[in-house]
Structure 1
Amino acid sequence: MGLNQQNNESSSGFRSLFNRSAAEVQRKKPGQPPGFLQHTGEQKLEAMRMTVHDYDANRYDSFTIDALDPTAAYMRPSSKTWIQIQGLHDITQLRKIMDYFELHPLVQEDIVSINQRPKVEPYGEVIFVVGRMITARQEGDATELKSEQVSLVLGKNFVLSFQESDDPLFDPVIRRMLVANTRLRRHSIDFLTYALLDNLVDHYFTALDFINETIESMEERVLDQPDPSDLQSIHALRRDLIFFRKSVWSLRDGINSLIRDDSPLISPEIKVYLRDVYDHLVQVIDSVESQRELVFSLYDMYMSSLSSRMNEVMKVLTVISTLFIPLTFIVGVYGMNFNPETSVWNMPELNWAFGYPAAWGLMLIIIASMLYYFKRKGWF
């Protein structure tokens, strides 16, 4: 679901998606020509990393490279190759890779602009996919929601993946590739694209589970002992879920276009698997909507708890004030100090030996009577 740290970290150790530096949300200057390459994120790696995953049903090779070698075996048309690129700050090296695969200038621009809306777009002989990986990761004593743009380019016999960090987002897919003669190894390259998208969507459920646990723990705190920091966390969760919904909704529309539209790069067999991804995205959207309703109810619950506590405080203060009203009257009357020697009606109690204890006794009887009456009425 992230959201300056003081404002967006709750007492439960939750950090939202909006706890980001200014470098992560910068944009290119207005008026730049289409296809202008500018990395709008932050440099998370010292150098760009490229990992080649070359495979077929019975063979799998994985190795890192410093630059593309057009004569290498993994570049042959008969090879199924996934090139995993981590680090988007080296524009010069990225341009060489993207130009080699003849990616459209707008695709190149979107890859290095990390604030893109998730989408699926065909560009000539490739399909360009922008997704957003949202994960819940442990960072010290806090669990933090992290968001990262992931770009995929599907070609006839290759897949390119681009991400800013070296976060092991696709490790589950890589582990599956190690097993010989699996569907992932037997099928064409479009099945790998499905597997990467499915892995991305699976992480959404993990993030939603964390957000749900956060909502439940926050609900207990709000009911038991509401704190001003809880209100900040509620607003942070609300913004996270809006961001989550926008990301998932756009990706769902993109997956639907892959299923609906005819493309030589997506076989009918793979569209069956993509429908499963689509169904999962619908489930995620339903869960996000449910959690948004819970967060809205959390706000109402927080305000009701504060109001209830305030009413309890006001009730106690009112009882105390009410108890002292007759006592103040008695003290005020006997504070007038009329001379009893002038008239028998001028406070004869002033010369009475038990006048002071009697005044205290009267006040205590009044207090006890009022407390008994309040208790009978159920006012406290």
Structure 2
Amino acid sequence: MVNNPHFRKPSYHPPGTAPGTYDIARTRATPPGHIEVIEYDAEHYQKLDGLLAVSAEQSLACRWIQIDGPPSLDVLETVRQRYGIDPLVLEDIVNQGQRPKFNDYGDGIFLTLSVPGAEALTAEGIGVYRQISLYLMDTVLITFMEQESRLFDLLEERLKRAGGRLRRQPVHFLAHALIDLAIDTLFPLIDATAERLEELETDIIERPSEDMLLETHTFRSRLLVLRRIAWATRELVNAFRRHAEDVTDGSLRPYLEDAYDHIVSAIDLIEIQRDIATNLVEVYMSVLSNRMNEVIRLLTIIATLFIPPTFLVGLYGMNFDPAAGPFSMPELALPFGYLAVLFVILASMIGMIFFFRRRGWLGRRRS
């Protein structure tokens, strides 16, 4: 696999650390990030900021707590004490780079999602992914975003609209919207990869280079990571679909079926792009092989053209004395012998060139 510095490596605690450890030097040194608390029901919507809003009593049917940026120890302790979150969940939130997954802790479910970073559509950052952590309870959804982002702005606008579907439904519908959002962010990345692979295919056929081969290998590696994320997200959607059947009376089923169809479509596109990237390596090797064959054929034709001249020059370079007898190369004494040899050499070469072209060995025969 081509080494790519943009691939995200998960962070871990040192070996031997107790499970559920989140009180570490990094969280103690991290300042509180941006915190928003949104409460809503079918008729009301309110938005609060700051850590104190997390501890405040819930006044409306649904609550969405957004924590953007690396979480500080104070934030983690506040949400743990307020909502009884298992330390194992907080550990996975602190250790970014988790694969998409679904864990049921009884009082709440924990989900992690991977979304392409803001720089993912650039050539340099196409392998960068960000983690979104969700903790879902009966009426509360807590989201942890690795860094501040405007990814949720559209969902907030939907929540602000009175009478909207999200406002009328349980908070599980908001969790579905976030899952669907994470799935939808994969498609622009897939499309950008497809466009670049098409450009690479044209460039490889016309002017192959080692840089193109390295870029193709890089795309294969990136698609492998994207494939793992998509398959893990598919498992997450399946697990959440089974969980939602018990808490939403089946009303969420059509939307989760739609999300499942989306992730399956994404997987199909990723598999197609992986096949294309693999075929591009074969195309590259085939084009190089064909070009090498062309060079060898041209050199062979050039060497063949000089076989008759070499033979004639070698024959008449033996320096026999024509005066020694009738069989001692008498043609060496002819006044036009030199011109005759040159004519024969030229005629033989022209005849061979004409023969090679007729057989299609020299140049391209046009229909």
Q: Deviations over 1:258-311 (max 9, x none)?
A: 222467655521233112111211111222222222222222222222221221
Counterparts of 2:34 and 2:298 in 1: how far apart (Å)?
66
Q: In the alignment, does 2:4 pair up with 1:31?
A: no
My pick for the range that moved more, 283-292 or 133-142, is: 133-142
SS of 1:20's partner is: coil
Task: Report the Cα distance in structure 2 between the residues aligned to 1:378 and 1:348, rounded to whole angstroms.
Answer: 40
Displacement of 1:354 in angstroms is: 3.6
Q: Does residue 101 of the first structure (1) align with residue 66 of the second (2)?
A: no
8 Å contact kept, 1:37–1:108: yes
Q: Is 1:150 aligned to residue 132 of structure 2?
A: yes
Structure 1 counterpart of 2:227, from 245, 253, 275: 245
Q: 1:371 Cα deviation (Å)?
A: 0.4
Partners of 1:294 and 1:157 in 2: how far apart?
Answer: 45
* Matched letter for residue 270 of structure 2: V
Counterpart residue type for residue 20 of structure 1: H
Aligned equivalents of 2:42, 2:228: Cα separation in 1: 38
Task: Please say if residues 258 and 266 of structure 1, whose CA atoms lie closer than 8 Å, have aligned partners that are also in contact.
Answer: no
Find the residue that maps to 1:269 and give its secondary structure.
Answer: coil
SS in 1 for 2:157: helix
SS at match of 2:251: helix
Partner of 1:61: 46
Alignment correspondent of 2:210: 228
Shift in Å, 1:151: 0.9
Tell me if 1:363 matches 2:345. Answer: yes
Amino acid at match of 2:131: Q
**Residue 334 (str. 1) matches residue 319 (str. 2):** no
Distance in 2, matches of 1:108 and 1:71, equals 17
Q: How far is 1:90 from its partner?
A: 3.4
Paired-residue identity, %? 35
Which secondary structure state, in structure 2, belongs to the residue aligned with residue 125 of structure 1?
Answer: coil
Deviation at 1:198, TM superposition (A): 0.9
The answer to which of 182-191 and 78-87 deviates more is: 78-87
- Counterpart AA for 2:36: T
Structure 2 unaligned residues grouped into runs of 5+: 363-367
Specify the code of the residue in structure 1 equivalent to 2:349: I
Count of aligned residue pairs for this structure pair: 360
Q: CA separation in 1, counterparts of 2:269 and 2:130?
A: 21
Do the aligned partners of residues 286 and 70 (structure 1) sit closer, same or farther apart at CA in structure 2, a change above 3 Å counting?
closer
Q: SS in structure 2 opposite 1:68? A: helix
Paired with 2:48 and 2:54, the residues of 1 have a C-alpha distance of 16
2:39 touches 2:60 (CA, 8 Å); kept in 1?
no
Query: How far apart, in 1, do the equivalents of 2:10 and 2:107 lie?
Result: 31
Look up the match of 1:317.
299
Query: Does the 8 A contact of 2:97 with 2:130 survive in 1?
Result: no
Alignment partner, residue 20 of structure 1: 6
Shift of 1:52: 2.6
Higher alpha-carbon Rg: 2
Q: Using the TM superposition, name which of 332-341 and 203-212 deviates more.
A: 332-341
Q: Distance in 2 between matches of 1:121 and 1:361?
A: 89
Query: What amino acid is aligned across from residue 52 of structure 1 in structure 2?
Result: V
1:316-366 CA-partner distances (Å, limit 9, x unpaired): 111111112222222333333344455565555555544443333222111
Contact 1:56/1:79 (8 A) holds in 2: yes
Shift of 1:140: 7.0
Letter in 2 for 1:146: V
| Distance in 2 (alpha carbons) for counterparts of 1:362 and 1:38 | 94
| Pair 167,104 (structure 1): closer, same or farther in 2 beyond 3 Å | same
CA contact (8 A) 1:52 1:84 kept: yes
TM-score w.r.t. the length of structure 1 is 0.83
Offset, 1:93: 3.8
1:337 aligns to what SS in structure 2?
Answer: coil
Cross-structure match for 2:365: none
Name the structure 2 match of 1:218.
200
Matched, 1:254 2:236: yes
Contact 1:135/1:204 (<8 A) preserved: no
Aligned pairs for 1:45-56 (under 5 A) are 48-56=33-41
Within a 5 Å distance, the mapping from 1:137-216 to structure 2 comes to 137=119, 144-216=126-198
Q: 2:60 aligns with which of 78, 92, 95?
A: 78
Q: Distance in 1 between matches of 2:275 and 2:101?
A: 26
In the superposition, relative to structure 1, how do residues 190 and 330 fare at CA in structure 2: closer, same or farther (>3 Å)?
same
Q: CA deviation at 1:250?
A: 1.5
C-alpha distance after superposition, 1:201-229 (max 9, x if no partner): 11122222112212222222222222212
- Please name the residue that 2:260 is paired with: 278
| Distance (whole Å) between structure 1 residues aligned to residue 23 and residue 297 of structure 2 | 62
Unaligned runs of 5+ in 1: 9-17
Given that residues 101 and 235 in structure 2 are in contact (C-alpha distance below 8 angstroms), is that contact kept between their aligned partners in structure 1? yes
Distance 2:55 2:268 in 1: 49
Q: What amino acid maps onto 1:189 in structure 2?
A: V
Higher relative contact order (CA 8 A, sep 6+): 1
